[in-house]
């Protein structure tokens, strides 16, 4: 019997035994740094002359590891391997497919500290953020495995005299998984698990900044004895193999999480029909946001300030759900600004492996340069009241930056920065605050702090985001609890971790037999 789903508990690092376990895991993986990971296509390990190098963003002189890098020929080989595996995998019972996910979850739980240690070193996550990433990965495995029997039962149909009727779900085929670097374990695991538990086979093309964590996930699938070819590990340059795979006539769907620009390009390419293609490709996309927290004049201000700082600077603001705009009703504007400044200045910036650190590095030089450029734009568009400078130059460190007195139409109030930068905007009243919040091309997450029930109800109706939080921060969605996905340019509103998510990887087949 399948147990009721329950979210994986977070590690309490205030307990000495947990601190020691994490320190031990960091030491253990240090001996593996610099290792090399091949492609895995149909169970075959393949090395290439070109490779991807992953560096530690806390110390960019340190190499975390390298992976092989695929070319078009190897991408084609991966498609063919996935097609061959699909021939059998589509007919494996849903219950058996679910058991592979349960097994993978059990292995990951046993290696929880080790996976989190890799997230600290390769992604620059502090201990708590790394643990949350690993816990979410376990949740996705457990949750989708538990959801599968519901879809295996098929769709309820109305009886018709003289006929036997049924409508059941079948998989789509071969899919391409394109995950982001910011949740390189959780999101990659969830995207892949949903696709394979529904009977599809996939090509996993990890982000080039965090390929080692993806390689570790591939090792986990192998340890769980997943049949060869069901998941194929294919690191490589998006420019070299990305367009080829998205446009391939045998790719049935693309599951993507990342930037708006890349997501729109994938959607456009996937809409084309290549010679030999028999279907309209399905694109499942989550493309980021410009998320706002509204602080009403009737809010609990201390709670609001805590939620702002946590949402804006958790994992250095490198979450698609991160708060990058705070819209404050004028009556409490100065008080909120003062509280946010004080709490921001209390944060500690440094190497992610240091348990005392709140903020680690941003992911790479491209992000580092882009964020610093936006901070300079912010100097002209507002008033920097905290941060605004580089940290230690041994890694990609940027101080958490608060920019006050920003106009709603300013660039830093409209464009996704994806870093530790938050813009503070003054609103005349709650009505205007809602209007400002909605005045963006995105619609992923948002939060409202108010003790006025009528205003909270107005936000429920009118704040147009896929994930709205009332009197709490706008980050930290839990699998099964907060189905996650946004509106507008934030994506296709595919609710990851929701009870209908698996439908994106299935198609319904109705069969009627005359008796």
Active site residues: 286, 320
Give the C-alpha separation, 210 to 387, whole Å.
27
- Strands 442-443 and 487-488 turn out to be antiparallel
Q: With 0-12 CB in 10 A as exposed, 13-18 as middle and 19+ as buried, what is 19?
A: middle
Asked if residues 502 and 198 have their Cβ atoms less than 8 Å apart, the reply is yes
Please tell me the distance from the alpha carbon of residue 40 to that of residue 235, in angstroms, as a whole number. 9
- Please count the helices (runs of H) and the strands (runs of E) in the chain: 15, 21
Instruction: State the burial class of residue 346 (Cβ atoms within 10 Å of its Cβ: 0-12, 13-18, 19+).
Output: exposed
Residue 188 CA to residue 238 CA, distance in Å, equals 16
**Rounded distance between C-alpha atoms, residue 444 and residue 286, angstroms:** 9
Cα 248 to Cα 188, 285, 323, 436: the distances in Å are: 21, 18, 37, 41
Measured between alpha carbons, how far is 134 from 124 in angstroms, rounded to an integer? 14
What contacts 282, CB < 8 A, 6 or more positions away?
Answer: 172, 252, 253, 254, 504
Neighbours of 110 (CB within 10 A): 9
Rounded to whole angstroms, the Cα distance separating 195 from 501 reads: 10
- Provide the 3-class DSSP secondary structure of residue 421: strand
Dihedrals phi, psi of 217, to nearest 5 degrees: -65, -40
Q: Helices in 319-414 by DSSP H: which ranges?
A: 333-345, 365-381, 411-414
The tokens for 451 are: 């003790």
| Sign of torsion over alpha carbons 465, 467, 470, 473 | negative
CA–CA separation, 486 vs 87, rounded Å?
A: 34
Start-to-end CA span in the chain (Å): 35
CB atoms within 10 A of CB 170: 13
Q: Label the pairing between strands 291-295 and 323-329.
A: parallel
The structure tokens listed for 46 are 């393949």
Are residues 402 and 301 in contact, defined by beta-carbon separation less than 8 angstroms?
Answer: no
Rounded CA-CA distance 387/290 in Å is: 20
Nearest CA-CA partner of 191 in 140, 227, 244, 240: 140
Where residue 292 falls (left for φ over 0; alpha for ψ -120 to 50; beta otherwise) is beta
């Amino acid at each position: 019997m399948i147990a009721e789903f329950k979210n994986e508990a977070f590690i309490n690092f205030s307990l000495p035994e947990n601190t020691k376990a994490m320190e031990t895991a960091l030491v253990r993986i240090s001996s593996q740094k610099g290792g090399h990971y091949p492609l895995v296509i149909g169970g075959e390990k393949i090395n290439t002359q070109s490779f991807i190098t992953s560096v530690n963003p806390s110390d960019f002189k340190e190499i975390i590891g390298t992976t092989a890098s695929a070319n078009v020929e190897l991408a084609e080989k991966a498609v063919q391997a996935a097609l061959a595996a699909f021939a059998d995998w589509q007919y494996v019972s849903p219950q058996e497919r679910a058991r592979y996910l349960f097994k993978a979850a059990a292995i990951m739980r046993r290696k929880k500290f080790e996976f989190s240690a890799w997230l600290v070193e390769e992604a620059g996550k502090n201990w708590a953020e790394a643990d949350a990433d690993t816990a979410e990965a376990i949740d996705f495995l457990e949750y989708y495995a538990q959801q599968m029997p519901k879809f295996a039962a098929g769709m309820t149909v109305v009886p018709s005299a003289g006929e036997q009727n049924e409508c059941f779900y079948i998989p789509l085929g071969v899919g391409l998984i394109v995950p982001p670097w910011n949740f390189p374990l959780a999101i990659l695991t969830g995207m892949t698990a949903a696709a394979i538990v529904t009977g599809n086979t996939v090509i996993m093309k990890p982000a080039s900044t965090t390929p080692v964590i993806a390689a570790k996930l591939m090792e986990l699938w192998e340890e769980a004895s997943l049949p060869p070819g069901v998941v194929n590990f294919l690191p490589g340059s998006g420019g070299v193999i990305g367009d080829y795979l998205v446009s391939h006539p045998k790719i049935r769907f693309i599951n993507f999480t990342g930037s708006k620009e890349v997501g729109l390009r994938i959607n456009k390419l996937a809409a084309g029909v290549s010679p030999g293609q028999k279907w309209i490709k399905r694109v499942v996309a989550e493309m980021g946001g410009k998320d706002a927290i509204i602080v009403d004049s009737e809010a609990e201000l201390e709670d609001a300030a805590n939620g702002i700082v946590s949402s804006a600077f958790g994992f250095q603001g490198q979450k698609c759900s991160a708060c990058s705009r705070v819209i404050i009703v004028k009556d409490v504007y100065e008080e909120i600004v003062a509280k946010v400044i004080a709490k921001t200045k209390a944060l500690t910036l440094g190497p992610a492996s240091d348990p005392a650190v709140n903020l680690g590095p941003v992911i790479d030089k491209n992000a580092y340069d882009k964020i610093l450029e936006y901070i300079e734009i912010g100097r002209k568009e507002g008033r920097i009241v905290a941060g605004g400078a580089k940290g230690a130059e041994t890694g990609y460190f940027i101080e958490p930056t608060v920019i006050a007195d920003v106009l709603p139409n300013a660039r830093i109030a409209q464009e996704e920065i994806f870093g530790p930068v938050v813009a503070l905007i003054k609103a005349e009243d709650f009505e205007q605050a809602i209007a400002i919040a909605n005045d963006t091309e995105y619609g992923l997450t948002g939060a409202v702090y108010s003790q006025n029930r009528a205003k909270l109800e107005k936000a429920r109706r009118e704040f147009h985001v896929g994930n709205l939080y009332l009197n709490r921060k706008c980050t930290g969605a839990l699998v099964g609890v907060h189905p996650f996905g946004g509106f507008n340019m934030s994506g296709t509103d595919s609710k990851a971790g929701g009870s209908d998510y698996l439908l994106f990887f299935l198609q319904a087949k109705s069969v009627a037999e005359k008796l």
